[in-house]
Amino acid sequence: MTDRFNAAELLAVIAARQLRDDTTVFAGVGVPLLAAALAKRRHAPRLTMVIEGGIIGPEIAPGRLPVSTNEMRAGHRATMLPGITDAFLFAQRGFVDVGFMGGAQIDQYGNINTSVLGPDYWRPKVRLPGTGGANDIASLCREVIIVTPHEKRRFVERVDFVTSPAWLRGDGSRRAAGLLFGGVSRVVTTLGLLGFDPDSKRMRIEATHPGVSIDTLRQNTGFPLLEAPRLEVTEPPSDEELEMLRALDPERRFLG
């Protein structure tokens, strides 16, 4: 990426900037949790993290980043340690503002596939880890932000399987399916920031990272992208952000 930071560091820093103080985020393990921990330490001290294993409000200690939702490090100085079903119950009741997710495939309406690759569910080319709590997060959080590397194989016109619903077919079908709130608001990638057209719900370019052209972003996407009325360029990670991020993951389990 540059001499100062790599693609994973850029992704984590830009993702962290999307989170606000005095909100609650349901963060998956990996870069989403790393980004949430960075946001809490740097600019959102009253951010409350929710971890799937049934952990509310932990403090992620530098150098002690958990690699699983169920290990003890994930519960460091947590406010609550309820059962896993209670964690999702809080989302169902509307207490979780943001869901932070990744995905193997993402389509033009933000739907996510983490189940199978290939047209035949029972005989897939690749069987992926499955949903875990991803469907619940996508269905129940007030807002969902996807965090992912930007690769053409990931960004497909239609996912092979809808594990986690976003805007479904983009024609009001999310609401028709009984999902009355929420939806994917933006996609943070290693090339830029993507959002969704308010009418069609199709994915659109909203910002590129420094040195990344619109053509590069389009060439790495498997479907035509719309463009926001005003395109921006993101600010590169600062030295302070990188220092705090690297302290959280000194073994570089997720930072490469």
CATH code (residue 175): 3.40.1080.10
Does the reported pTM lie above 0.85? Answer: yes
Count of alpha carbons within 13 angstroms of residue 47, beta-carbon side: 27
> Bridge-partner residues for 102, per DSSP?
none
Give the pLDDT of residue 166: 97
What is the number of domains present in the chain?
Answer: 1
Query: What pLDDT shows up at residue 75?
Result: 85
pLDDT in tens, the chain (256 residues): 678 999 999 999 999 999 999 999 999 888 999 999 999 999 999 999 998 888 999 988 888 888 877 778 888 898 998 888 888 888 888 899 999 988 899 999 999 999 999 999 999 999 998 888 889 999 999 999 999 999 999 999 999 999 999 999 999 999 999 999 999 999 999 999 999 999 999 999 999 999 999 999 999 999 999 999 999 999 999 999 999 999 999 988 888 8
In a domain, 256, yes or no: no
**Dist. CA 167–CA 170, nearest whole Å:** 5
In a domain, 23, yes or no: yes
What secondary structure letter does DSSP report for 156? B
Distance CA 72, CA 132 (A): 19
The interaxial angle of helices 239-248 and 31-42, nearest 10 deg, is: 120
Q: What are phi and psi of 43, to 5 degrees?
A: -130, -5
> Which residues carry out catalysis?
52
Among 101, 55, 57, CA closest to 81:
55
Backbone angles phi, psi at 203, to 5 degrees: -70, 145
Range of the domain at 22: 7-248
Q: Which two tokens stand for residue 108?
A: 């033009």
Whether 253 maps to a domain, the answer reads no
Write down the pLDDT at residue 1.
60
> Is residue 254 in some structural domain?
no
